[in-house]
Structure 1
Amino acid sequence: MEYYVKSVVPVIESNYDKFTPVEKEIADFFIHNQKRMDFSIKNISETLFTSKATLVRFAQKCGYHGYKEFIYQYEETFIEKSEKITGNTRMVLNAYQELLNKAYSLVDERQIGKITGYFNKADRVLVCGLGSSGLSAREMEIRFMRIGVNVDSLADPDMMKMSSVFQNKNSLVLGFSLSGEREEVRYLLRESYNKGAKTVLFTTKNRVAFDEYCSEVVLLPSLKHLNHGDVISPQFPILVMLDIIYAYYVEQNKYIRKGMHDSTLRALEEGEKNHKEVY
């Protein structure tokens, strides 16, 4: 757990719904394979009983120029790591480490730059999510509000539907849905996009349909059953990406935005001091 390894596995997982049945068999092989072997296109095509051309198309759907680039990155997965912690501690820390490694593999700095540009141009920012994603939306509202962004968060389905009416070309709407299946979130993004707003969906799934109403789709790392929060909080991958966006946004005008943050902190401290004096 000392370093990050650029892995193609989260990329495969994010694009899984785009694959044909044959490509899904290839994806399953690379996702679940745990051993080093001869990954040459000849050997893998014979092992999986598929054509070399299919392997090339699969690699291209994952965002690589070809199979050679794909497999070069895939082999990085097998860099050996020492394990010194046992029990529940290791299980939890390994889960976090796996998500961080996947986030490292998925983050697109050019995309982050575009999103921070949307923040700069928007008169109003709206963030929405349900359940644990709604908590992440609230966290984003608090953090960005403290550096001067006109931002609100929504975690109520009816409010999402009503708010879609008031969006326009000067709006930026961000939606959080790990599964990509929250219809209320998708409705707000879709209606806002149709009114000219910039829309960004944060999700673990990459589906063609999202392109119809999302200016950007930010891919988040995922673990099995992450939505249920049985080992670690489902908010974690969202918050990691929010921290990255926040860091980029603050850096663009560091002194002014840091000054705003410090001013809000002083206001909170003064309010607490006055409260104690009253009582």
Structure 2
Amino acid sequence: MEYYVKSVVPMIESNYDNFTMVEKTIADFFIQNRKKMDFSAKSISEKLYVSEASLSRFAKKCGYRGYREFVYQYEETFVEKQESMTGNTRMILNAYQELLNKTYSLVDEAQIARIGRYLNQSGRVFVCGRGSSGLTAEEMELRFMRIGVDIDSIKDTDLMRMQAVFQDSNSLVFGISISGEKEDVLYLLREAHRRGAKTVILTAKNRGIFEEFCDEIVLLPSLRHLNHGNVISPQFPILVMLDIMYSYYVGQDKFAKELLHDNTLRALEEGERKRREVIE
């Protein structure tokens, strides 16, 4: 299996929907390419039948100052993939490793630290999502509740819209949407932000409109161009990022939060013991 490697591919994927048709042609090449070659602007423009100016605009949309900086990063981190895989186990493990590499490339530690401060400063936390993202929202609620966070998860669309009305400057709202297109999730974030709440979206799509109503845009790796991505749970990239956030939050006051966690576990164990005594 591969080790963690910084890659430009996750940034291309997160901005894919913002590209023009020409830029998508360039993006598809860099996402799908598996061979080392001459990546100079002249060579790639001739290969793809695009102008060097298009390459420059593409690189800037990916967050680089120009195509030269983009290619430098691409060449430095380019790792040839092994095409021959022996068995399903190796295939799955390599897919997960690729996903971890993408997470490593996208995670912004300064951003995660800011979110940790939001969690400390907010009186009430809400996390919402639909489908598999909703299940992840429930997991986040259970984990952070055990260390003293006043947090609720919301999966129901009507509840999302109703809860939007009650948000204020004392609230922190997380919206989880891999596609970035779940209207009920976006509605809650938009209305909560309008009422003064801090808002955070976890998504694989970096849409320009998010900056209007999200204080933090946490980018997740996309499964779309992942080798064998169809066999990977869509919850996995979200859970990895939540684990990172959880670790940072606990680290801000490790002793107190571990004590709270232990106390909640003891309370659960005591409840289970009493239930067994009643049954016996």
TM-score range, shorter chain: over 0.9
Partner of 2:96: 96
Partner of 1:44: 44
Verify: 1:146 aligned to 2:146, yes or no.
yes
Partner of 1:106: 106
Query: 1:80 deviation in Å?
Result: 4.3
List aligned pairs for 1:18-33, cutoff 5 A. 18-33=18-33
Query: 1:82 deviation in Å?
Result: 6.2
Separation in 2, partners of 1:10, 1:33: 14
List aligned pairs for 1:68-147, cutoff 5 A. 68-80=68-80, 86-147=86-147
Question: In structure 2, what residue type is equivalent to 1:277?
Answer: E
Question: In structure 2, what residue type is equivalent to 1:167?
Answer: Q
What SS is found at the alignment partner of 1:128?
strand
Structure 2 unpaired stretches of 5+: none
What SS is found at the alignment partner of 1:277?
helix
Separation in 1, partners of 2:201, 2:264: 29
List aligned pairs for 1:1-279, cutoff 5 A. 1-80=1-80, 86-224=86-224, 230-279=230-279
- Tell me which moved more, 113-122 or 123-132: 113-122
- Is contact 2:118-2:198 (8 Å) kept? yes
- Is contact 2:154-2:160 (8 Å) kept? yes
- Is contact 1:144-1:151 (8 Å) kept? yes
Separation in 1, partners of 2:225, 2:269: 40
What SS is found at the alignment partner of 1:126?
strand
Question: Scaled by the length of structure 2, what TM-score is found?
Answer: 0.93
Question: In structure 1, what residue type is equivalent to 2:57?
Answer: R
Question: In structure 1, what residue type is equivalent to 2:264?
Answer: T
Question: Scaled by the length of structure 1, what TM-score is found?
Answer: 0.94
Query: 1:160 deviation in Å?
Result: 0.5
Separation in 2, partners of 1:16, 1:69: 19
Separation in 1, partners of 2:160, 2:150: 17
Separation in 1, partners of 2:210, 2:74: 27
- Tell me which moved more, 55-64 or 74-83: 74-83
- The 3 A distance-change label for structure 1 pair 51 and 225 is closer
- The 3 A distance-change label for structure 1 pair 80 and 48 is closer
- State percent identity of aligned pairs: 69
Separation in 1, partners of 2:183, 2:200: 15
Query: 1:101 deviation in Å?
Result: 0.9
Equivalent pairs, count: 277
- Is contact 1:5-1:76 (8 Å) kept? no
Query: 1:65 deviation in Å?
Result: 2.2
Separation in 2, partners of 1:171, 1:66: 39
Separation in 1, partners of 2:80, 2:32: 17
Question: In structure 2, what residue type is equivalent to 1:276?
Answer: R
- The 3 A distance-change label for structure 1 pair 83 and 24 is closer
Structure 1 unpaired stretches of 5+: none
